[in-house]
């Protein structure tokens, strides 16, 4: 007879148990309160939508991460969201449709058909902000500043901020006049920083000598502020969009004054979801092999909804953020009590709960395990008085 383990979860899917769940919820509240103080309004998009809405503005990589199912009411194909940014673009275009800039924040679980890397969950809890309707560099700087403030408030130290700009690579590829298939080949090699393969590919596919030299530079344009100076010199004569992107990075970097942050530039950066159109960024800490969060500009994402607006934003995975944070959540340790028929004691329990205390009842005949109850104090009656005593 075969016994099935009905409690086994799929690979990359996990329960979040009480101690970690408390830390995640504490951090979620900290961050949403921060975003509210900067003028970002909370939205709660649905977990699933029709795929033509959910994926209409997204790239192929997001398409592959999306679970699909058939709507039993309409017969149309639906998808479970793998990213919340396209949903906020739809909200900005249709439900809000304000004239000026709109600021939104969100927090919710997304679902991936497969983990994006070995350190990632298939059910990350995404929290982030989106700023629509402003093209200026000041909007990008506001979002980057809030991104860094988010890490500061949850006590993530010694951050490396990776800055890039997709117009550098895309501007050079436009100058190369490649087919879509050729561009996809080069981008795949560049994302792997496969220098030897890039050299062979350029020799095989690029005729223009200047463009060949520029493309060969891309995987090596990484490092500190000196990279911008080098790019300015060695990409001289490149399309104007490329030089403008380098200048934007220089201006953005000048606005970041934080002793806790080390700036790092990757001028060949092309992030995961291919809807990005401008300045992009991500945060890393030593000893953790993936980005804690990332973001950037993604103008025109709302075009599929009939309202192409400039936009920029970022997102974190709360599970990853909790893993790297040095902050302590609210302890949650509470007060236990054995009520019996003591009406006055029960009224005191209600008062304590109303004041935010965790108060747990011990039932008649129960042997109290303080670790399981998560209590460090006890409410009892002694010599006629109600007292809260410390438990060892």
Task: Evaluate if residue 282 carries a pLDDT over 60.
Answer: yes
User: pLDDT tier at 330 (50, 70, 90 boundaries)?
Assistant: low
Query: How are beta strands 261-266 and 159-165 bridged, if at all?
Result: parallel
Phi, psi of 123 (to 5 degrees): -130, 60
Between 161 and 270, where is the model more confident?
Answer: 161
Which pLDDT value is given to residue 2?
62
Lowest-confidence segment of 190-204, 245-259, 268-282 by average pLDDT: 268-282
Average pLDDT over residues 90-109: 90
Which pLDDT value is given to residue 372?
82
Distance CA 143, CA 251 (A): 14
Task: Evaluate if residue 318 carries a pLDDT over 80.
Answer: yes
Percent of the chain past pLDDT 90, that is, above it, reads 63
Which pLDDT value is given to residue 47?
95
User: pLDDT tier at 306 (50, 70, 90 boundaries)?
Assistant: confident
Which pLDDT value is given to residue 305?
80
Which pLDDT value is given to residue 58?
63
Which pLDDT value is given to residue 191?
85
Average pLDDT over residues 156-174: 92
Average pLDDT over residues 192-210: 91
Task: Evaluate if residue 273 carries a pLDDT over 60.
Answer: no
Task: Evaluate if residue 389 carries a pLDDT over 60.
Answer: yes
Secondary structure of the chain in HEC code, one letter for each residue = CCCCCCCCCCCCCCCCCHHHHHHHHHHHHHHHHHHHHCCCEECCCCCEEEHHHHCCCCCHHHHHCCEEEECCCCCCEEEECCCCHHHHHHHHHHHHCCCCCEEEEEEEECCCCCCCCCCCCCCCEEEEEEEECCCCHHHHHHHHHHHHHHHHHCCCCCEEEEEEEHHHHHHHHHHHCCCHHHHHHHHHHHHCCCHHHHHHHHHHHCCCHHHHHHHHHHHHCEECCHHHHHHHHHCCCCCHHHHHHHHHHHHHHHCCCCCCEEEEEECCCCCCCCCCCCEEEEEECCCCCCCCEEEEECCCHHHHHCCCCCEEEEEEEHHHHHHHCCCCCCCCCEEEECCCCCHHHHHHHHHHHHCCCCEEECCCCCCCCHHHHCEEEEEEEECCEEEEEECC
Average pLDDT over residues 254-264: 89
Which pLDDT value is given to residue 274?
66
This prediction's pTM: 0.89
Average per-residue pLDDT for the chain: 90
Distance CA 76, CA 73 (A): 8
Which pLDDT value is given to residue 338?
87
CA torsion through residues 29, 31, 33, 36, sign: negative
Taken in order of first residue, the domains within the chain and their CATH numbers are: 8-156+292-330 (3.30.930.10), 159-284 (3.30.930.10), 334-390 (no CATH)
Percent of the chain past pLDDT 70, that is, above it, reads 96
């Amino acid at each position: 007879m075969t016994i099935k383990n009905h409690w086994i979860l799929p690979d990359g899917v996990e329960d979040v148990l009480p101690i970690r769940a408390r830390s995640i919820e504490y951090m979620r509240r900290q961050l949403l309160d921060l975003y509210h103080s900067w003028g970002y309004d909370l939205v709660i998009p649905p977990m699933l939508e029709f795929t033509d809405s959910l994926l209409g503005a997204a790239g192929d990589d997001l398409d592959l991460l999306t679970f699909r199912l058939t709507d039993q009411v309409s017969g149309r194909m639906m998808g479970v969201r793998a990213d919340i940014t396209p949903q906020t673009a739809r909200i900005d275009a249709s439900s809000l449709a304000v004239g000026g800039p709109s600021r939104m924040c969100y927090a919710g679980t997304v679902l991936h058909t497969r983990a994006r890397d070995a350190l990632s969950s298939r059910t990350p809890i995404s929290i982030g902000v989106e700023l629509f309707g402003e093209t200026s560099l000041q909007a990008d700087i506001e979002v980057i500043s809030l991104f860094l403030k988010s890490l500061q408030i949850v006590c993530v130290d010694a951050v490396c901020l990776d800055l890039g700009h997709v117009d550098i690579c895309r501007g050079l590829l436009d100058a190369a006049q490649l087919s879509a298939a050729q561009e996809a080949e080069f981008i795949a090699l560049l994302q792997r920083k496969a220098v030897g393969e890039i050299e062979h590919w350029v020799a095989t596919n690029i005729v223009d000598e200047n463009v060949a030299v520029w493309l060969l530079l891309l995987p090596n344009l990484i490092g500190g502020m000196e990279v911008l100076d080098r790019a300015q010199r060695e990409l001289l004569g490149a399309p104007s969009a490329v030089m403008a992107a380098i200048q934007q990075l220089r201006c953005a970097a000048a606005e970041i004054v934080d002793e806790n942050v080390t700036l790092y530039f990757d001028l060949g950066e092309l992030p995961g979801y291919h809807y990005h159109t401008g300045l992009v960024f991500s945060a890393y800490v030593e000893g953790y092999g993936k980005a804690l969060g990332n973001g950037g500009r993604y103008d025109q994402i709302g075009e599929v909804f009939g309202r192409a607006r400039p936009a920029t934003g970022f997102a974190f995975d709360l599970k990853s953020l909790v893993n790297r944070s040095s902050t302590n959540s609210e302890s949650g340790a509470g007060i236990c009590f054995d009520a019996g028929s003591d009406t006055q004691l029960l009224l005191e329990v209600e008062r304590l709960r109303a004041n935010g205390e965790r108060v747990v009842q011990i039932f008649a005949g129960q042997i109290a395990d303080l670790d399981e109850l998560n209590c460090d104090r006890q409410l009892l009656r002694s010599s006629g008085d109600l007292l809260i005593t410390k438990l060892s």
